[in-house]
Structure 1
Amino acid sequence: MSSTTLSPSISPRRAYLAGLLLAVIGAIFFSAKAIVAKLMYRYHVDAVMVISLRMMFSLPMFAVLAFWQARNSPPLATRDYAKIVFLGLIGYYLSSFLDFLGLQYISAGLERLILFLTPSFVLLISFTFYKRKVGLIEWGALLVSYLGTALVLQHDINTGGNNVVLGSVLVLGAAISYALYLIFSGELVRRVGAMRLVAYAMCVSSVACIIQFFILRPVSALVQPVQVYQLSLINAVFCTVLPVCLTMVAVSRIGAPSAAQAGLVGPVSTLFLGAMLLDEPITAIQLTGTALVLSGIYLLSRKKT
């Protein structure tokens, strides 16, 4: 008798905590791609090589996922495939390329902070082009987030030189590109499904990255130290495929808003992983800036739509 009365209250709680844990793990793994990229740059490879090897290793896994999704889903219209190709090019190919390019010039912690401004760019784009109403709380959240990023950016400029500005602009472009992906994918994800859309879009992005590599680099450029391939495999499995799948499962269990809030652990984890693995210093200004960005994004995530 007691077991039947307790299980309804315990089971949903455990399911929610399990989903929350998956979202947190996914955010940490996905944020760690900046750390892996920084480690790869020590072997004198560039952004083209980093993203190409990442996608070369990721493509077979996403192809299997896409095939599995296609078998269990109705066929798509031609216009839907065209939209998926476009989204794959701007959301993962362009965004990832600009991100890794910027990481050559800025710290992993600053990169993660800039990328976590993506929700604010979604808001601003919606306000500018779709006439979405923005409340005082949202404007305040934007101001707090940008102030935090400005603090860390100023700190890195003082310690890292003019290239920090170039790297920040490139990562800013990555954040805006991904914000456009989120806006344009809104209608399509409801019709296609989140996991199917991600699998298809990542396949498009992977193919684009591989084509780009063979246009810009000779085949002989693939001869790299074994450590580069080991890091690329880690980047593909643990920082790309695994976090994408974990996040999708988490969204299905606890919903997108809760999964987004759990993702706020990303910039914090990158800051401390950068300190442990890359010897990037952690200063009071960086911690203050991180706290401001997280506060601003948290306010955005709590806003009722």
Structure 2
Amino acid sequence: MQKSKQISIGIIVAVIGVVLFSAKAVMVKLAYKYDITSEHLLLFRMSFSLPFYFAIAIFNKPSNPEKIRKIDYLWIIFFGFVGYYLASYFDFLGLQYIKAGLERIILFVYPTLVIIISRIFLKDKITKQQLVAIIITYIGVVITFWQELQLETSNLILGGSLIFLSALTYATYLVGSGWLIPKFGVISFTSYAMIVSSLCIIFQYLAFDRGDLTSYSSEVYFLSILMAFFSTIIPSYLISYAIGKLGASNVAIIGSLGPISTIILAFFFLGESLSQIQIIGAAIVILGIYSVTKKSKERK
């Protein structure tokens, strides 16, 4: 009974985290209306978050320090760089070319990427059910994009490719966090990984940009602060907590709520809409992930 309660709490926490993360795409699109570059917007998002991650890391020590090896800290640096720096950077770049709703649909393939990466590096077995789910998922993505492919080929392919890279790097982070969280604990692992990511973004600005950061309108800074708190700090801990309770694969599957959440938010705040064929494509993607979810529950 206690285990069932923990699983239920983990699911609820994961759902809230997914919804908050999905709101990021809408805030990014709103900020782009004020002519801010993707690099500066990402810099603001992580710079406003960094002091909180530092403070939390200082007051929270790893939960199982005796299990931590020196190489584990190197893995945290790697996953902080890949999972939140590269994933966020690719995502912000891609959102310059495609709508927020479509961005979420492409990112929605990351649960299948988690399964593939787990098979390659952790030797987890991929079942026939999972292979079918992967095929269904990508068919859904193709259907979703088919109409726009004929309208904006160059921008759509570029934007879609960047978002797919974001999904791939985020999936890599999820797989890695699944076996590091038990050693460091949810709070310490998340804080360390996000500090690494934030420092990477700041280094990128100092090394390659150094443009003026004070000339943007007040709306940009306000949106960046909202993004930092509600679509970065809070959901990063929620997702890590859920991974600790449910495992990376199950949390990735719950990420299926992301596209639906973003589509609804984009409808209200951006005035975006999806065509019927895009809705059908999204439904097929959801069907593919649902089949993975069902199989995972059966194995549990």
TM bucket (normalised to shorter chain) is: 0.7 to 0.9
Query: Which secondary structure state, in structure 2, belongs to the residue aligned with residue 168 of structure 1?
Result: helix
Distance 2:169 2:3 in 1: 37
Q: Which residue matches 2:173?
A: 181
- Indicate how the Cα distance of structure 1 residues 257 and 165 shifts in structure 2: closer, same or farther if over 3 A, else same: closer
Q: Residues 233-269 of structure 1: CA distance to partner in whole angstroms, max 9, x if unpaired?
A: 0111000111122334445666666655543221101
- Indicate how the Cα distance of structure 1 residues 132 and 262 shifts in structure 2: closer, same or farther if over 3 A, else same: closer
Query: Which secondary structure state, in structure 2, belongs to the residue aligned with residue 221 of structure 1?
Result: coil
Q: Residues 247-298 of structure 1: CA distance to partner in whole angstroms, max 9, x if unpaired?
A: 3444566666665554322110111211221122221112111111112112
How far apart are 1:214 and its partner, in Å?
2.1
More deviation, 152-161/239-248: 152-161
Q: Does 1:59 align with 2:67?
A: no
1:265 aligned partner, one-letter code: L
Distance 1:124 1:257 in 2: 10
| TM-score between both structures, scaled by the size of structure 2 | 0.88
**Does the 8 A contact of 2:178 with 2:243 survive in 1?**
no
- Indicate how the Cα distance of structure 1 residues 224 and 47 shifts in structure 2: closer, same or farther if over 3 A, else same: same
Q: How many residues align?
A: 296
Distance 2:163 2:269 in 1: 21
Distance 2:117 2:249 in 1: 19
**Does the 8 A contact of 1:66 with 1:200 survive in 2?**
yes
1:5-154 mapped onto 2 (5 Å cutoff) = 19-70=10-61, 74=65, 76-127=68-119, 132-154=124-146
Q: Residues 161-207 of structure 1: CA distance to partner in whole angstroms, max 9, x if unpaired?
A: 42010001111111111222233444333322333212101000001
2:147 aligned partner, one-letter code: H
**Does the 8 A contact of 1:257 with 1:301 survive in 2?**
no
Structure 1, unaligned stretches of length 5 or more?
A: 1-8
**Does the 8 A contact of 1:260 with 1:301 survive in 2?**
no
More deviation, 233-242/71-80: 71-80
Distance 1:265 1:72 in 2: 31
**Does the 8 A contact of 1:145 with 1:297 survive in 2?**
yes
Q: Does 1:231 align with 2:220?
A: no
Distance 1:179 1:117 in 2: 9
Q: 1:284 aligns with which of 276, 286, 291?
A: 276
More deviation, 108-117/293-302: 293-302
Distance 1:183 1:19 in 2: 17
2:188 aligned partner, one-letter code: R
Query: Which secondary structure state, in structure 1, belongs to the residue aligned with residue 139 of structure 2?
Result: helix
Query: Which secondary structure state, in structure 1, belongs to the residue aligned with residue 282 of structure 2?
Result: helix
Q: Which residue matches 2:212?
A: 220
Distance 1:129 1:262 in 2: 22
More deviation, 116-125/160-169: 116-125
Distance 1:50 1:34 in 2: 12
How far apart are 1:73 and its partner, in Å?
5.6
1:157 aligned partner, one-letter code: L
**Does the 8 A contact of 2:182 with 2:244 survive in 1?**
no
**Does the 8 A contact of 2:148 with 2:156 survive in 1?**
yes
- Indicate how the Cα distance of structure 1 residues 140 and 36 shifts in structure 2: closer, same or farther if over 3 A, else same: same
- Indicate how the Cα distance of structure 1 residues 16 and 197 shifts in structure 2: closer, same or farther if over 3 A, else same: closer
- Indicate how the Cα distance of structure 1 residues 186 and 17 shifts in structure 2: closer, same or farther if over 3 A, else same: closer
2:91 aligned partner, one-letter code: D
More deviation, 128-137/85-94: 128-137
Give me the CA root mean square deviation: 2.6
Q: Which residue matches 2:155?
A: 163
- Indicate how the Cα distance of structure 1 residues 171 and 200 shifts in structure 2: closer, same or farther if over 3 A, else same: same
Rg comparison, structure with higher value? 1
More deviation, 49-58/288-297: 288-297
More deviation, 176-185/238-247: 176-185
Q: Which residue matches 1:263?
A: 255
